[in-house]
Amino acid sequence: MPRHFDPIYLDHNAGAPLRPVVREAMIAALQEAGNASSVHTHGRKARGKIEEARDAVARLCGAKTRAVTFVSGGTEANMTALTPAWQDQGAPVYLDKLFRSAIEHPSVVTGGRFPVIDQVVVPVDENGVVRLEALEELIKDVDPSLISVMAANNETGVVQPLAEIGALAQQYGHFFHVDAVQAAGRMPIDVEAWQADVITLSAHKFGGPQGIGAVIVRSTARVPAPLMVGGGQENWRRGGTENVAAISGFGAAAISALEEATETRHLLHLRKRLEEGLRAVCPQTVIFGEGADRLANTVCFAVHGIAAETALIAFDLERVSLSSGSACSSGKVSVSHVLTAMNVDEETARCALRISMGWDTSEADVARFLEIWPKIVDRLNPEARHQAA
Question: Alpha-carbon Rg of the chain, whole angstroms?
Answer: 22
The answer to whether 98 and 79 are in contact (CB under 8 A) is: no
The answer to whether 98 and 146 are in contact (CB under 8 A) is: yes
Annotation says 300 is catalytic: no
CA angle 218, 228, 242 (to 5 degrees): 80
Q: Which residues pair with 68 in a beta bridge?
A: 216
CA distances from residue 171 to 140, 167, 343 in whole angstroms, order as listed: 9, 6, 30
CA distance 162 to 152: 10
119-122 β-sheet, strand order:
68-71, 213-217, 198-202, 175-179, 146-148, 98-101, 119-122
CA distance 389 to 384: 10
Terminus-to-terminus CA distance in the chain, angstroms?
38
CA max distance for the chain: 72
Q: Which residues contact 163 (CB under 8 A, 6 or more apart)?
A: 193, 194, 195
SS3 at position 173: coil
Q: Which residues contact 263 (CB under 8 A, 6 or more apart)?
A: none
CA distance 107 to 328: 9
Q: Name the catalytic one among 61, 282, 300, 328.
A: 328
Which positions are catalytic? 328
